[in-house]
C-alpha cells in the first residue's frame, strides 16, 4: 500500500504561515493610488540589513523543500528537475502574490528585492530536496516510515510536527495548549455589545484563579502525554514508541525553553521549569513508559480522555500575568510576523488533534 505523504499538508501549512507573516496585521487595507505591481520596477532599497536579506531567503527555503518533496511523492513520474522547477515557481508565485497584496497595506512595503530573495530561497530549498532525492535520502525516509509508522499516519505526523511550533508562544501553564475560554468569552461579549443578544450570554459569577500546584502538575502531565499518545497511535512497535516518547518530550522541553528565551531573554530560558512542571514531565514519562505496550485503540481512547480533562482544567485558569508583557515583546521587531500564528496554533492544536483521533476511531469502528 502506498503511503500518503505528509509533505503536501506540511507545504500547505507552511504556505499559510507565509501568508500570515506577509500580510499581518490584516488591517487598514486601502488603495494607495499606485499600481500594485509598481514595486517590480522600483530602485534598490535605500535601507536594508543583512538580517532582512537572510530572513527573506531562509523563510522560503522550507517552502521550496516541502513543495519539491510533495511533487516527488505525489508525482514521481515528473522527475527531480521538474520538481525543482515546480517548487521554485510555487515559491515565486506565492511571494509575488504577497508582495503585490502588501501594496494595499500601509504598514508593509512591497519590494522587488524581497521577491527575488524569496524565489532564491524557494529554489535553494527545492535543490536541497532534489539533492537528497539523488542521494537516496527520500527513498530511505520512505522505507523508514513504512517500518516505523502505520499506513494512515499522515495526519498524526503533521500534528506531531506542528506541536513544538505551537509551544513557541508562551502559555499560562507549560504545555497548556488550547486555553481559549477566557479570550473566547471576551470576544463573544465584544461581538454582542449593543445588541439584545448580550443578555443571552451567561455571566461568570467568579474570577478565574491561578491553578494550585497539584492541578498545574496534572495539566503539565496531560499536556506532555497527549502528543506522546498521538505518536503511539501511529507507531508500529514498542521499541519505536519508546524512541518517539523520548523525542517528543525532548522536543516539547526544547520548544518551551526557546519560547522563554525569546520572550524574556536567554537568561530566563529555564525559568518555567518549576517543581510542578518537573513532576508533570516526569509523570508523563512514567505513564508513557507504562503504556508502551498498549493497543492503539486504547491509546486513542486515553488520548481523548486526556485531551478533554486537560482542556477542562486548563480553561479554568486565567491567562498568564505576564501575557501583556509577552505580547508586547512578541509584537515588536522581528517577532511581529510570527507571534499570532504561533498563538493560533497553540489555541487550535488540541482541537485539531481531537478531530483527527475521533475521525480515525470512527473510521476503524465503521470498518469492523
Overall average pLDDT of the 38-44 stretch = 79
Alpha-carbon Rg for the chain in angstroms: 23
Half-sphere exposure at residue 68, Cβ-oriented, CA atoms within 13 angstroms: 29
Nearest to 145 by CA among 134, 132, 154: 154
Q: Is residue 316's pLDDT more than 90?
A: no
Tell me how far apart the alpha carbons of residues 67 and 122 are, in angstroms, rounded to a whole number.
Answer: 9
Tell me how far apart the alpha carbons of residues 91 and 78 are, in angstroms, rounded to a whole number.
Answer: 18
Overall average pLDDT of the 236-251 stretch = 94
Q: What is the pTM of this model?
A: 0.70
Which range is least confidently modeled, 85-99, 192-206, 229-243?
A: 192-206
Residue appearing with cell numbers 537528497: 132
Q: 77: left (phi > 0), else alpha (psi -120 to 50), else beta?
A: alpha
Half-sphere exposure at residue 127, Cβ-oriented, CA atoms within 13 angstroms: 6
* Grid cell in block for residue 77: 513520474
Tell me how far apart the alpha carbons of residues 123 and 90 are, in angstroms, rounded to a whole number.
Answer: 10
| CB-based contact 226:306 (threshold 8 Å) | yes
Nearest to 247 by CA among 280, 288, 216: 288
Which pLDDT score, from 0 to 100, does residue 324 have?
Answer: 52
Residue appearing with cell numbers 499506513: 151
Name the range with the highest mean pLDDT among 4-13, 275-284, 313-322, 335-344. Answer: 275-284
Q: Is residue 333's pLDDT more than 50?
A: no
* Grid cell in block for residue 263: 520572550
Domains of the chain by residue range: 7-148, 161-367
> CA–CA distance from 184 to each of 20, 121, 188, 189, 192 (Å)?
21, 38, 6, 9, 12
* Grid cell in block for residue 172: 499560562
Which pLDDT score, from 0 to 100, does residue 139 have?
Answer: 73
* Grid cell in block for residue 122: 524557494
149 beta partners: 235
Provide the percentage of residues in the chain whose pLDDT is more than 70.
Answer: 81
Which pLDDT score, from 0 to 100, does residue 250 have?
Answer: 96
Which pLDDT score, from 0 to 100, does residue 160 have?
Answer: 93
Kindly write down the DSSP assignment for every residue of 16-56, as one continuous string.
HHHHHHHHTT-------SS-TTGGGGPPPPSS--HHHHHHH
Overall average pLDDT of the 167-188 stretch = 77
H/E stretch holding 364 reads: helix 339-367
Which pLDDT score, from 0 to 100, does residue 190 have?
Answer: 65
Q: Is residue 66's pLDDT more than 80?
A: yes
Q: Is 149 helix (H, G, I), strand (E, B) or coil?
A: strand
Which pLDDT score, from 0 to 100, does residue 198 have?
Answer: 62
3-state helix, strand, coil in the chain (%, to 5): 70, 0, 25
Model confidence over 264-310: pLDDT tens digits? 777 878 988 999 999 999 999 999 999 999 999 999 999 999 999 99
Higher per-residue confidence, 124 vs 25: 124
Amino acid at each position: 500500500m502506498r503511503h500518503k505523504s505528509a509533505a503536501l499538508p506540511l507545504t500547505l501549512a507552511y504556505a499559510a504561515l507565509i501568508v500570515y507573516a506577509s500580510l499581518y496585521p490584516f488591517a487598514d487595507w486601502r488603495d494607495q493610488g499606485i499600481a500594485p505591481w509598481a514595486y517590480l520596477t522600483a530602485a534598490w532599497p535605500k535601507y536594508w540589513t543583512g538580517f532582512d536579506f537572510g530572513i527573506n531567503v531562509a523563510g522560503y527555503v522550507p517552502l521550496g523543500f516541502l513543495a519539491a518533496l510533495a511533487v516527488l511523492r505525489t508525482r514521481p513520474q515528473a522527475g527531480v528537475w521538474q520538481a525543482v522547477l515546480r517548487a521554485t515557481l510555487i515559491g515565486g508565485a506565492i511571494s509575488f502574490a504577497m508582495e503585490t497584496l502588501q501594496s494595499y497595506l500601509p504598514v508593509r512595503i512591497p519590494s522587488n528585492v524581497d521577491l527575488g530573495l524569496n524565489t532564491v530561497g524557494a529554489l535553494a530549498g527545492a535543490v536541497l530536496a532534489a539533492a537528497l532525492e539523488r542521494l537516496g535520502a527520500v527513498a530511505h525516509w520512505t522505507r523508514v516510515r513504512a517500518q516505523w509508522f502505520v499506513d494512515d499516519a499522515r495526519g498524526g505526523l503533521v500534528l506531531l510536527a506542528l506541536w513544538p511550533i505551537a509551544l513557541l508562544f508562551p502559555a499560562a501553564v507549560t504545555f497548556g495548549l488550547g486555553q481559549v475560554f477566557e479570550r473566547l468569552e471576551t470576544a463573544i461579549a465584544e461581538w454582542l455589545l449593543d445588541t439584545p443578544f448580550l443578555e443571552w450570554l451567561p455571566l461568570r459569577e467568579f474570577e478565574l484563579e491561578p491553578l494550585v500546584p497539584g492541578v498545574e502538575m496534572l495539566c503539565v502531565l496531560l499536556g506532555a502525554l497527549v502528543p506522546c499518545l498521538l505518536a503511539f497511535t501511529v507507531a508500529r512497535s514498542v521499541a519505536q514508541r519508546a524512541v518517539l516518547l523520548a523525542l517528543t518530550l525532548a522536543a516539547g522541553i526544547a520548544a518551551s525553553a526557546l519560547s522563554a528565551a525569546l520572550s524574556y531573554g536567554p537568561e530566563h530560558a529555564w525559568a518555567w521549569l518549576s517543581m510542578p512542571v518537573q513532576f508533570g514531565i516526569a509523570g508523563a514519562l512514567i505513564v508513557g513508559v507504562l503504556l508502551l505496550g498498549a493497543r492503539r485503540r486504547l491509546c486513542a481512547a486515553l488520548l481523548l480522555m486526556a485531551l478533554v480533562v486537560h482542556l477542562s482544567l486548563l480553561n479554568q485558569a486565567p491567562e498568564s500575568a505576564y501575557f501583556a508583557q509577552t505580547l508586547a515583546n512578541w509584537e515588536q521587531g522581528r517577532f511581529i510576523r510570527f507571534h499570532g500564528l504561533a498563538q493560533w496554533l497553540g489555541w487550535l492544536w488540541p482541537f485539531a488533534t481531537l478531530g483527527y483521533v475521533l475521525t480515525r476511531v470512527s473510521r476503524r469502528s465503521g470498518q469492523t
